Chain A
Amino acid sequence: MFVNETVSNFPSITEIIFKPINKKYLKVILLNVILTFSAILIGLFLADYFNVFEKTSKYVYLFYIVFIVVYFVVSLLFYVSFKKRKYAVREKDITYKSGVFFIKLTTVPFSRIQHIEVDEGLFSRFFKLASISVFTAGDSKDDLVIKGIAKETALEIKEFISTKINE
């Protein structure tokens, strides 16, 4: 393995203390899930009501069962994934960790950040939450987005990084 003797105490990614994202964000996630599923449910109900699937109308209750199972599984997955979302801001970089089956850890050094954005969604605004996105050069879709942190914190982080970039 490669050796790097010049630095004795290497800052390690394994020693970072990660912060969880805001608990209120779970409500935003669940609201989104409920909204999506309600739309599907209404569609299903209307289709049933107007007899769209003529031949399968006997089995329509099966659709509802599947629907409910899927709904619970999705909600559970979102809940677990919510627990796994964590971030950390260090002296020189920002890190985000997420994923249940695919654990993903991304770090963006401040010196490579081109610009930062703080966005608020419709529900997020209601809970005073915001998401922070940092962009580097190159393929921008793979940069870092942390959703669901308190708006104040997000602005603080933004301010902190901005001063760091300008140093």
Chain B
Amino acid sequence: MNNSFDFSNFSKQSSKGIFVIYMNQIYKTIKTIWVLLFFGIKDFSKITNLSTNYIYLILVFILLFLLVRAYLIYKNFLFKIENEHFILKEGILNKTNTSIPFHRIQNINFKQNLIQQIIGVYEVSIETAGSKDTEIAIKALPLFKAEALKEIVSKSANFDKKIIIDDDKKPLVKIGIKELFKVSLTENHLQNLILFLALIIGFYQQIEQVIDSLGRTEVLDGLIAESTDALSTSFFLVTILLIFLTITALMTSFVKIFLVHFNLTAYLKEDAFEINQGLFTKKSIVLKKQKVQSITISTNPLKQLIGISFITFKQAVSGKVNVKKQKLIRIVGCKKEQVEIVKSSLFDFYELENGKKNRPDNYYKRRIFSVTFLFTIILYATLYFIFLQLEILYSAILVFPFFSFLIIKKVNKRFYKITDNMLLVGSGLIETHLTYLEVFKVQNITMEQSFFQVKSNVADIILQTASGKINIPSIRLEDAIKIYNHTLYKVETSKTSWM
């Protein structure tokens, strides 16, 4: 639809881009020197009137310098499309010339932060598997140009299929505010809770330091002594604190989910997914199906109750796999039918339905049980020797059955199914994860056996993909060998490119 724009000549960003780059420069500068600023503000009282003038002068100078810099960055930023290559020239003093062939492009992301939204431009970033940083980020493009660019790149040579116009396509998934609220309810709140506890402990130490510097340590000590004396009071306080923390954790989850996934819509195109979301920072991702290495479908008991699950798409990454969570591409709050559509559009999972569910050997259960209980016993022993109170051991009555329950849950969730082309691995503790992988996309395969595993005739299989590992722990050795050979056979005979 928007193919009207001609990219064959070098073009610049929208002139509004200067402002966006300028803001970005200021933001970056503040980010690098904020520690310095912090100390500056702390000793503000020591600064005399004379030197404040200097500070303002320096500030003005820095701001001007950044403005000039932003202008030069804008001026030297040129891009064009030639021979199915995206070509970019940039740099003020160090000139860089980047050229990316279309077939290497993994996804094209649209982003709009608050400033970009106000002045009405889009940030377009183009990512490849080559590096973990974004390779090309065009800070400011007007919508029609951005759309045109996306169309050109996403229907690159390999896919000469019809482009379906977005406007008359119904989105695959559309998540409203009500659904987002549900999603946030089912999030992992434990993480937030721990974060808050850490914050509170940190805060407490801060207060202690302040009071300490005022020379009133004994006041605080007295207060603490008083409150610890009355055990019931402190119990009451702890309960209130916990309730308060839980509510805050819930609220944060909601706000976080709301900000990131606001107005989430996912479209399904012939060869790609398009996912749009975000409130302050609007994001739009175009993800080519072929580039998807594996997908994971996750749910937990609460989510199951509401009938939703998450789909996470994994793409190839090089170097470190520890990509930040926010870089993961996921569709939250999918209903069952929607999951089915995504799955069947990616691969032929029909044969998986008929495949047999295989569970790990009993050795797996034994291993987790013995490791967990050994660890717990050691922990109890140490605690006992530190505090020398027998009361600590009472909690074991609750702890051991609870752990056993969790372990049984974990063991029950472990399974794998392998068919000619597909591998399905189930895992999880409270959450349930189903990972789907096309066997030929494996990069390398490892079989591991510990001394005990050799005795029990079981082995672990680790499949390395371009987007991380997939484990199949403690299965019978003969099955492990079969999977090993089958995978190698599939990889070595396949002619399809894996990305």
Contact = CB atoms under 8 A, between A and B. Distances in A.
B455 to A, nearest CB: 12
A1 B483 CA distance: 10
A143 B469 CA distance: 12
A158 B450 CA distance: 31
Interface in A103-124: 103-112
A137 to B, nearest CB: 4
Contact of B486 (A2, A14, A105): A2
Interface residues of A, number: 31
A143 B358 CA distance: 28
B448 interface: yes
Interface stretch (A3-11, A55-63, A77-85): A3-11
A12 B491 contact: no
B177 interface: no
B445 A112 contact: no
B447 A105 contact: yes
Contact of B468 (A1, A7, A10, A139): A139
A137 B104 CA distance: 13
**Looking at A2, A106, A142, A144, which has the most chain B CB atoms within 10 Å of its CB?**
A2
Given A103-B448, A107-B445, A139-B468, A10 B316 contact: no
Contacts of A92: 488, 492
B444 interface: yes
A79 B494 CA distance: 40
A42 B486 CA distance: 53
Contact of A137 (B420, B451, B481, B499): B499
Chain A CB within 10 A, most for which of B318, B321, B492? B492
B317 interface: yes
Q: Is the interface of B mostly helix, strand, loop or mixed?
A: mixed
A138 B499 CA distance: 12
A163 B445 CA distance: 22
A48 interface: no
A2 B356 CA distance: 7
Given A4-B486, A10-B485, A101-B450, A140 B479 contact: no
Nearest to A143: B444
Q: How many of chain B's residues touch chain A, expressed as a range? A: 35 or more
B484 A138 contact: no
Contacts of A136: 443-444, 464, 466
A142 B489 contact: no
Interface string B430-458: 00000000000011111111110010000
A165 to B, nearest CB: 13
A102 B446 contact: no
A10 B487 CA distance: 11
Contact of B444 (A10, A11, A101, A107): A107
Interface string A1-28: 1101001001111100000000000000
Contacts, number: 110
Given A11-B489, A112-B444, A103 B454 contact: yes
Given A101-B451, A103-B454, A109-B492, A137 B443 contact: yes
A158 to B, nearest CB: 17
A137 B443 CA distance: 7
A38 to B, nearest CB: 31
A102 B484 contact: no
Interface string B404-420: 00000000000000111
Interface string B231-250: 00000000000000000000
Given A102-B448, A104-B447, A109-B491, A138 B485 contact: no
Given A111-B491, A112-B498, A138 B448 contact: no
A57 B249 CA distance: 55
22 contacts: A1-B358, A2-B486, A11-B488, A12-B485, A13-B485, A92-B488, A103-B449, A104-B446, A104-B449, A105-B447, A106-B445, A106-B446, A107-B445, A107-B446, A107-B484, A109-B488, A112-B443, A112-B491, A138-B316, A138-B465, A140-B319, A142-B446
Given A2-B418, A112-B442, A139-B321, 15 more contacts: A2-B355, A2-B356, A12-B485, A13-B447, A13-B488, A92-B492, A93-B488, A103-B454, A104-B448, A109-B491, A111-B492, A112-B443, A138-B316, A138-B467, A139-B320
